[in-house]
Amino acid sequence: MSKDKSSEQFFEFASFLASAARGSVEEGGLGASLRFLDALSRLPGLTAKANDDKFLGEMSELIKKRVNVDFLVAREKYIELLDEILVRFAKEIRRRNGLDS
């Protein structure tokens, strides 16, 4: 039985989220946070539509480039990355809803 690639990618992503949910209990806040960022970085590869989203692609690249380095350097550096990601999402949400100034 042959499964299409997107179906398999969604299953892999769902399996990852199930594992992350369980693992976060023992990992604590920062470990769970790493898993959420990993999930976020995987989104553009799940569907063609998500892959065409320039913003999600940029976020995926930012996360892949900085998450491990910032996490290993210092807790504060990692939290700065999380804050930067949230600010970028807030700006993008405003832009997509016609609220940018």
Listed in sequence order, the residues at least 6 apart from 70 whose beta carbon sits closer than 8 Å to its beta carbon are 77, 78, 80, 81
**Helix (H), strand (E), coil (C) string for the chain:** CCCCHHHHHHHHHHHHHHHHHHHHHHHHHHHHHHHHHHHHHHHHHCCHHHHCCHHHHHHHHHHHHHHHHHHHHCHHHHHHHHHHHHHHHHHHHHHHCCCCC
Give pLDDT, residue 1: 42
The CA distances from residue 62 to 38, 59, 82, in Å, are 11, 5, 11
Q: Answer with the residue of higher pLDDT: 33 or 24.
A: 33
pLDDT per residue as tens digits for the range 58-99 = 999 999 999 888 888 888 888 898 899 999 999 999 999 999
pLDDT band, residue 101 (cuts 50/70/90): low
pLDDT of residue 49 exceeding 50: yes
Q: What is the average pLDDT value for the chain, to the nearest integer?
A: 82
